[in-house]
Structure formats: structure tokens, C-alpha cells
Amino acid sequence: MRSEFHSKLLDKLVDVGEPAFNMAHEKLLDMVINADLILGSSVTESRSLSTEEWNTLSAIFDELIAYAKIHFAEEMDHLRAHRYPDVEQHQVDHDALVDELNHFQRKVMENDDANIKEIRKWLLGWLLNHVNNKDFAYAQFFAAQKK
Ligand SMILES: [Fe+2]
Ligand SMILES: [Fe+2]
């Protein structure tokens, strides 16, 4: 069962005007939420994460990174094909996110409870920040062109 907090996160995702991309964003956010549930359980239950939980987190991160890369590549193809003027900056933003994902994947692999707060804070922010600002910018640009 998804908590109210997690449902609210999903509700916050903006419509970027492309159903396939909206679905990809939801799928990515689902992975983020699944990872957050594990990280959050250590906080709410005031306990350490088990090795098994860290391994599950690491597997979610692997999937998250792989799926994010596929989505980013599809989005870039779309932006280039439709001559989005800020396409190069969008590529830079995606590359920075992949670097961050890899950085936090390494943090997960340290299996250190001291990193939980930091991982969690970043994990809940990066996707919504990108989609609701940078992806929303191309959505607005293309919507204005159609008028
Ligand atoms: Fe996106
Ligand atoms: Fe994007």
C-alpha cells in the first residue's frame, strides 16, 4: 500500500504533453518511492537496515539508473527531432542527473546507515525537480508552438 505522502508525490508530477514520457516519469517515481519506503522504515522504526535491505536498495538503484538512461535518451531524441532550442542544456542536465544517480548508488553500496538521511533527501527531490522544471519547460514550449 502506498502512503498518502507517496500518493501526493505522484500527484505532483506535471503533464509533459507526451503520454509515453508521462508514463516513464511515473515508473521512475514508483522506483524512487519503493527505495524511499525501505530507507524510511529505518527512520520510523529507529533501526539499522539489514544487508538484505541494502541489497534490495542497490537492485532498485540499478533499475532506476538503467531506466532513467533509456528515458533520457528517448527524451533527447524527441527534443532534437522537434528542434527544441534548449536541447543542449537539457542534455547537460540529464548527464548531471546520471552522475548523481551513480554517486548515490555508490553510497548505497557502502551499506552505511549514516548515509540514509542524505540519500533519502536527494532521492525524493531529483526527479520531481527535473520533470516539473526542465521537462515542463519543453512541454510549455511545444504547447505554445501548437497555438
Ligand atoms: Fe523526462
Ligand atoms: Fe528531461
Domains of the chain with bracketed CATH: 18-146 (1.20.120.50)
Torsion over CA of 51, 112, 130 and 93, rounded to 10 degrees? -110
Q: What percent of the chain has pLDDT over 90?
A: 92
Q: What is the mean pLDDT of residues 62-70?
A: 98
Query: Residue 1 — pLDDT band, cuts 50, 70, 90?
Result: low
Q: What angle do CA 30, 34, 35 make, to 5 degrees?
A: 120
What is the Å distance from ligand 2's center to 34 Cα? 21
The whole-angstrom separation of Cα 39 and Cα 108 is: 10
Q: What is the DSSP string of 49-104?
A: PPHHHHHHHHHHHHHHHHHHHHHHHHHHHHHHHTT-TTHHHHHHHHHHHHHHHHHH
What is the Å distance from ligand 2's center to 132 Cα? 9
What is the Å distance from ligand 2's center to 50 Cα? 34
What is the Å distance from ligand 1's center to 57 Cα? 22
What is the Å distance from ligand 2's center to 14 Cα? 12
Average pLDDT, the chain: 96
Query: Residue 14 — pLDDT band, cuts 50, 70, 90?
Result: very high
CB 23 within 8 A of CB 67: no
The whole-angstrom separation of Cα 93 and Cα 114 is: 28
pLDDT in tens, 104-147: 999 999 999 999 999 999 999 999 999 999 999 999 999 999 88
For the entire predicted model, the pTM comes to 0.95
